[in-house]
Structure 1
Amino acid sequence: MIQPPKDLRRKEKLEAFDRLLTIMDELRLNCPWDKKQTLETIRHLTIEETYELSDAIINENLDEVKKEIGDLMLHMVFYSKIADEKGAFDVADALSAISDKLVHRHPHIYGDVQADDEEAVKANWEKIKLKEKGNVSVLGGVPNSLPALVKAIRIQDKARGIGFDWEKKEQVWEKVEEEMQEFKDEFNVDSDTPIDKQKAQAEFGDLLFSLVNYSRFIDIDPEEALERTNLKFIKRFQYLESESQKDGKSISDMSLDEMDEYWERAKSIK
Structure 2
Amino acid sequence: MNRKEDLCKEFIELYNVVERVRKKCPWDQKQTPKSLIPYLLEETYELIEALEENNSEKIKEELGDVLLHILMQIVMGEEEKKFSFAEVCKNLRTKLIIRHPHVFGNVEVNGVKDILTNWETIKSQEKEEKGILSGVPLNMPSLLSAFRIQEKASHVGFDWEKTEDILPKLKEEFKELEEAITNKNKEKIEEEIGDILFTIVNISRHLNIEPEGALRKTNKKFIKRFEFIEKKIKELGKDWKNLTLKELDELWELSKTS
Task: Give the TM-score of the pair, scaled to structure 2.
Answer: 0.93
Indicate the residue corresponding to 2:195 in structure 1.
206
Unaligned runs of 5+ in 1: 1-7, 189-193
2:21 equivalent to 1:21? no
2:243 alignment partner in structure 1: 254
Q: Which residue of 2 aligns with 1:191?
A: none
Amino acid in the other structure paired with 2:12: D
One-letter code aligned to 2:209: I
Are 2:159 and 1:165 equivalent residues in the alignment? yes
Task: Give the match for residue 97 of structure 2.
Answer: 103
The within-5 A match list for 1:104-253 is 104-188=98-182, 195-253=184-242
Moved more, 195-204 or 248-257: 248-257
Alpha-carbon distance in 1 for matches of 2:241, 2:47: 35
Structure 2: unaligned runs, 5 residues or longer: none
> CA offsets per residue over residues 50-104 of structure 1, 9 Å max, x none?
1222222233333222211111100011011111111222222212211111111
Q: Normalising by structure 1, what TM-score?
A: 0.89
Shift of 1:158: 1.2
1:13-54 per-residue CA deviation (whole Å, 9 max, x = no partner) reads 333222211111221221111122211211221112112222
Shift of 1:260: 2.2
The answer to which of 196-205 and 124-133 deviates more is: 196-205
Say yes or no: does 1:79 pair with 2:73. yes
Q: Using a 3 Å threshold, how does the CA distance of structure 1 residues 168 and 19 change in structure 2: closer, same or farther?
A: same
Identity of aligned residues (%): 39
Match of 1:187, SS state, is helix
**Structure 2 residue aligned with 1:265:** 254
Structure 1 residue runs of 4 or more that deviate by more than 4 Å after TM superposition = none
* Aligned-CA RMSD value: 1.7
- The 2-side partners of 1:264 and 1:54 are apart by 30
